[in-house]
Structure 1
């Protein structure tokens, strides 16, 4: 191996307390393993990540640095560090991958400090790009990359999704030499040592509000049930994992695969969580739902989005999802003792302010209906934040309503746009401050009346205290100024799973 072509892979900080294995970075590491030397810097595990990066780059042996960048907190650190790296080590070739640069590549490449964007999976294109740069050969025909040529942005063709079982194993053991794997196995609602895992990429649906769609274009590829089991069994036996978070965009696409996996994992006595679609899982047999619960499935995240069938159609949910189905499925889940975690997206655009507000009110009423049907249903609220789904009628609609994305990375990392990325501050012109307050205040009262079961630090005594304050408000629909609930939630550091995980 050459002495001056090493690769540094950086995972910017995304969590304050609970850390997860940086799977996306490990995929890239696996793609170059045995060909190029590589090291990982995990911003979640370093007190001074920039100092750690500098300790590598100052040796002169690291020619390339790759960042994985999600919107929100990761972006803030990625921007600040990328600028600093280019100032101190201008010859370093910087490559960004992840959801944010794949969607906002113009702002990323025009920043002047990012040289290439990996547009989607990098398992093939990343090593091909390094090879081309090392050998001074053309890279224009490499799929899944975006780069700048003069004043032009060049976006190459997308690659077909790779068969996941053919990919090399993730280098957990080498990561363990840099960061103890035990510290990646956090205590959560699921277990004492919870392991984050990806068993598939993409999603076969085209929801027009989803950031996955522009990257994967309604495609999905998955590891086999046996492959998943082998990986998880290894982590369990070597480091003691007892629970799994499947961070797939859609773990439950194939009932056959789910059944095979459940039968394999059942004897291991591990608990697990994953994401699904309601209309897909509603087709699963009762036998399958019983099996996955017996095999350790404790909670499943579903994109309910709205109880309004017309809104679901505008969101291009695909499939057959409807308000009636969402309600019926919540009732069905009760008999299997699986907690349905329903997310709702409030604040969709409409022709008039009155219609926007009515949509919000109708969905608040529908959410309360769901809680009456199945009180164990976890509710996760988002305020609609546009994503650049090219060609979607919904994105055209929000543009016509005056919405625009920032044009520079500096604007993207301003505090209000960071909150936008977390789907908590929409910055959308059709939502008035009063409407946003209504959504947030209802969320506060809802979380007070029904504290999430996933906050393991919230004792029964504290839950009962918050419930006592919120119950009357919830029953009589008084959501304004819930300061007393907010105060207790702040004092007791109430955890919202959509922001902080389990």
Structure 2
């Protein structure tokens, strides 16, 4: 049987996390096919490492996991080079980026197949079909090219997570020392990255998850999550957890069960949630979650304007008033709310776009007034190709276009687009973008993120003093003095760099 090489492209400089997505693919073929992982975050020259494996002639299949943004910087040039040097290699991409932009990827000529969503069944089925020279057209969750036509096979229902094979941590440890994946963060000295669920039951039109999972969510049981975390804690010393689920707190019952299990382990943890979901949790549940080690929770606030929430198809019952009320509610439980806001959504006139930006700036200051510990993460709206979405139709009508050639995605402008920092959208002027960025600079000066563990208390007080007068006077233009301090002190932005 031909061997499989799985590649995790670099996502951050000097930050290592267990590559859960590519490791789940390894788990799907464990015991059936020999595999190896190359991690672009760990190897100084990952392309050379990949080439050394392929040169043996044993590895026929090459799987990439590709998120938008930083991972494209290695994915695109590496895939092109590999296909030129090893043309008989079958290249398979998975992840949000290829699922959202299949045509431009398959038209490039160096990617053969795309896994459209979870690959736990699709990937091994595809490998078996190719190995046995059997049809693959009826395998679900595939996208491929037949002649000039892009073919998408039927989506597979989300499957129960507990019966899936366990992630092969021990085998990964033989390739890369797992202890180096447990990084020092705000949460702890040895922070574990973990996925306990897939998908999300909502259909926000700005979210890349929606076209893939289509309002579906499946989770591992609290007991399975605990068993996995406990194994890594006992074997490699993990003392904190980043839950990278799209929505960890969907079920109050599962969350409470996990909190009861993990509480004796004395581990700190973080996850993502919806405000309107967690606002329904009882006080007893919220108190237990904090007692069990949950220190901070990321919430997609998005906007304080109910009309914008409707435009974003936020769904649920979230309102601007609830966003403020919930931030205040969390104070008594000592849980830090981390609120993200999306500024710069399209509107009929430039005056309306600017008015929306001004509204959000004022609203964010109201949130900070009721709970100063609320972490604020600012994004500029970047379109997501959600088919049938009224918002995306509005975006296209305004003249927004994606690149037509795959290599253009690794230009600096489009890399920033994927980080939601430079949207390249026709309705936002440079002055509007500057207003958002300048407010963010001042806000981060007055309220430096608690997750930046390198920023000393003296530096925090100094930058707060400099930014405080601007914040009170609503003067955000040309905050060069704050930018200089942030640059010199290498201020960490969690939305780009994580914890």
TM range (shorter): over 0.9
Is residue 472 of structure 1 aligned with residue 469 of structure 2? Answer: yes
- How does 1:13-412 map onto structure 2 within 5 Å? 13-412=10-409
1:348 match: secondary structure: coil
2:61 match: secondary structure: strand
* Whole-angstrom distance in 2 between the partners of 1:283 and 1:497: 27
TM-score (norm 2): 1.00
The answer to which of 397-406 and 275-284 deviates more is 397-406
1:489 paired residue among 464, 486, 490: 486
* Whole-angstrom distance in 1 between the partners of 2:69 and 2:275: 28
- How does 1:433-472 map onto structure 2 within 5 Å? 433-472=430-469
1:258 match: secondary structure: helix
* Whole-angstrom distance in 1 between the partners of 2:365 and 2:77: 43
1:165 match: secondary structure: coil
Shift of 1:17: 1.8
Summarize deviations over 1:210-238 as a string: whole Å, max 9, x none: 10000000000000000000000000000
Shift of 1:267: 0.2
Question: Where in structure 2 are there 5+ consecutive unaligned residues?
Answer: none
Root-mean-square deviation over aligned CA pairs:
0.4
1:245 match: secondary structure: strand
Shift of 1:279: 0.2
1:343 match: secondary structure: strand
* Whole-angstrom distance in 1 between the partners of 2:472 and 2:139: 59
Shift of 1:410: 1.1
Summarize deviations over 1:87-143 as a string: whole Å, max 9, x none: 111100000000000000001100000000000000000000000000000000000
Shift of 1:411: 1.3
* Whole-angstrom distance in 2 between the partners of 1:427 and 1:187: 35
Shift of 1:304: 0.2
Shift of 1:414: 1.2
TM-score (norm 1): 0.99
The answer to which of 402-411 and 121-130 deviates more is 402-411
Shift of 1:263: 0.3
Moved over 2 A (4+): none
* Whole-angstrom distance in 2 between the partners of 1:175 and 1:192: 21
The answer to which of 400-409 and 186-195 deviates more is 400-409
Shift of 1:465: 1.0
